Amino acid sequence: MTCCSHLFRKIRSSSATRFAGTDIDISELHNVKIYTYKELRIATTGFSLANKIGQGGFGSVYKGKLRDGCLVAIKVLSAESKQGVQEFLTEIKVISSIEHENLVKLYGCCVENNHRILVYGYLENNSLAQTLLGKS
């Protein structure tokens, strides 16, 4: 967890208060790192099928390795999702404000043009239920 400790600080400069390609103000997001699409593409080796660890109704999840070596789960929301940017940001605000030992931590997100991506802490064995309930 120490490799990701820097992620819990809000990353922002005076010129980076809006998501790239949008007019959405991100100044209200706290404890959430804003990633570029390029960073996440590199972390997942181009969203390679070899790194795909899940698929759901809202999109695909990939295992990724950030530049600092931290392992993360990267959820790429489907382009067909009807969720708008404002709803996406509201979801991020809610998720990032909740901390509990049984919840996966949201590290950050990416909103560039039509890309909507969430970055979570990675759990070994690809299963939250298995982590919480054991192997039986």
Tell me the CB-side half-sphere exposure of residue 25, using CA atoms within 13 A.
3
| Binding region | 75
Strands 106-112 and 33-34: parallel
Distance CA 114, CA 21 (A): 9
The one-letter code for the residue type at 58 is: F
Q: How distant is the alpha carbon of residue 107 from its chain centre?
A: 6
**For 28, phi and psi rounded to 5 degrees?**
-90, -5
| Binding region for ATP | 75
Strands 59-65 and 106-112: unpaired
